[in-house]
Amino acid sequence: MKSYEMLVNGEWVPSRSQERREIRDPGNGEILASVAEGNSEDAERAIQAARSAFDQGTWRKTPAQERARFLFKIAQGIRLSARELATLEVKNCGKPLAEAEFDVADAAACFEFYAGLATKIHGETMSVPANSLSFVVREPIGVCAQIIPWNFPLLMAAWKLAPALAAGNTCILKPSELTPLTALELGKIFIESELPKGVLNIITGTGPKVGEILASSSQVDKVAFTGGTVTGRRIMSLATGNLKKITLELGGKNPNLVFADADFEAAVDGALFAAFANQGEVCSAGSRLLIEKSIHESFTEALLKKIPLIRLGHGLTPGVKMGPLVSKAHLEKVESYVKLGVSEGAELLCGGKRPEGKAFEHGFFLEPTVFDHVKPQMRIAKEEIFGPVLSIIPFESEEEAIQIANDTEYGLAAGVWSKNIARAHRVVQQIRAGITWINTYHPTYNELPWGGYKQSGMGRELGLYGIESYLETKQVNVNLDEAPLGWYS
């Protein structure tokens, strides 16, 4: 069993309290590692390290070309350790190996993308008024606290760290207490790259003991959070103490609209992938499947015929397409929504129970679950379940589909399936969501912005928007007239 400490000021240190947490494989209950359990003292220690590294250190003054070289080193380190990182990701959070391998490659690509952008942070100049040279420069915000979730541990660390470091900030990363292992392994890669001390700090522990300290500290200049909307509101409230900058990527109850003229087979495959990729533990999951009534019955039948192809098991087992949920508590939460859906009157077509067999007895598995004839006002159609639960909602017209799609407090993602490209564009323009797909679902690109409308958060990550969110804008005015102003003459 491996033992991990926390990274503070370039050193691996235990928790001040000496407390530790056992990290287990959600697929079989095996103990993977022992990790230092941080508290408020540890959070404060990391804040001071990051603060000193920013205020007195060299990182923000390091030439952009040099910062870029550091990030390219990180990407190379990830690629060299790809097999080990992917295997560890599977064991820690449960996802199938193929998905973990994609996440690791994408994390490396994210560091490479922002390494390239580090040298392209530009300002602007103006020569107005006549006797002045005025220009705008972009500067790092300062100390950035970054709190990431358990469903994409390594990838979310990359999404946060790469743009922040490219811009010249110092960082405190808090991974989920459930899935800290690949983030801590990433810390080792940073140390090997000889990043200056204090530029990256990694603190493990719970939200109340660590996350809230980071969000409320007057020594932290920005907080970036990915996770649930309730926690996002709490972080937003805590951050008002010093009006720190905030980026929030929160929940979703995302509609996936299938019109009668869609490519039938492609839409069936897309609907399954939208709902059940990563066990449905995805903020952008297409958990509301809106089907035009004329194909509702045939589409649902085709969907159910393919459900058995979603093979359950440990993520390292060849051929597995869906792994366990992340924890017992989360499994029980998702099961409670299944019971709620039945009590609300939705028709349970398949799943809703734990699979039987020796391979599943020590893991947190739930069969792919499909409800039909779901009413838009039902809680299973309104609340984020964050598991392999799909709600089918029939619709009559394009106008009704749009109305149902937008009838949610969230606005993260949406999909539209139709061969009528004019209709697809027309519908997408009217759906209030930050990420939309036409005739596909789930592709994510480092080059394009990620974030949502309404209660799905504020700000954007990735793309040019991602680095903009870690920069301040400064106006500089130079007087070219050497004569006295004469205002008081």
- CA distance from start to end of the chain: 79
Q: Which of 283, 317, 307 is nearest to 435 (CA)?
A: 283
- The first and second tokens of residue 429, run together, are 């323009």
CA–chain centroid gap for 452, Å, is: 12
31-84 pLDDT, tens per residue?
Answer: 999 999 999 999 999 999 999 999 999 999 999 999 999 999 999 999 999 999
* Separation CA 338–CA 370 (nearest Å): 9
| CA angle centred on 103, ends 89 and 274, rounded to 5° | 105
Sign, CA torsion 281/284/290/296: negative
What b-and-e string marks burial along 304-337, b requiring 16 or more CB atoms within 10 Å of the CB?
eeebeebebbbbbeeebbbbbbbbeebbeebbeb
Burial of 22 (0-12, 13-18, 19+ CB in 10 A): exposed
- Supply the pTM of this predicted model: 0.96
Q: Which of 38, 44, 52, 16 is nearest to 196 (CA)?
A: 52
Q: Which amino acid, residue 50?
A: A
DSSP conformational letter for 120: G
Helix (H, G, I), strand (E, B) or coil at 277: helix
- Residues with a catalytic annotation lie at 249, 283
pLDDT tens for the chain, residues 1 to 489 = 899 999 999 999 999 999 999 999 999 999 999 999 999 999 999 999 999 999 999 999 999 999 999 999 999 999 999 999 999 999 999 999 999 999 999 999 999 999 999 999 999 998 777 788 899 999 999 999 999 999 999 999 999 999 999 999 999 999 999 999 999 999 999 999 999 999 999 999 999 999 999 999 999 999 999 999 999 999 999 999 999 999 999 999 999 999 999 999 999 999 999 999 999 999 999 999 999 999 999 999 999 999 999 999 999 999 999 999 999 999 999 999 999 999 999 999 999 999 999 999 999 999 999 999 999 999 999 999 999 999 999 999 999 999 999 999 999 999 999 999 999 999 999 999 999 999 999 999 999 999 999 999 999 999 999 999 999 999 999 988 888 888 898
- The first and second tokens of residue 230, run together, are 């309730």
* Separation CA 128–CA 453 (nearest Å): 38
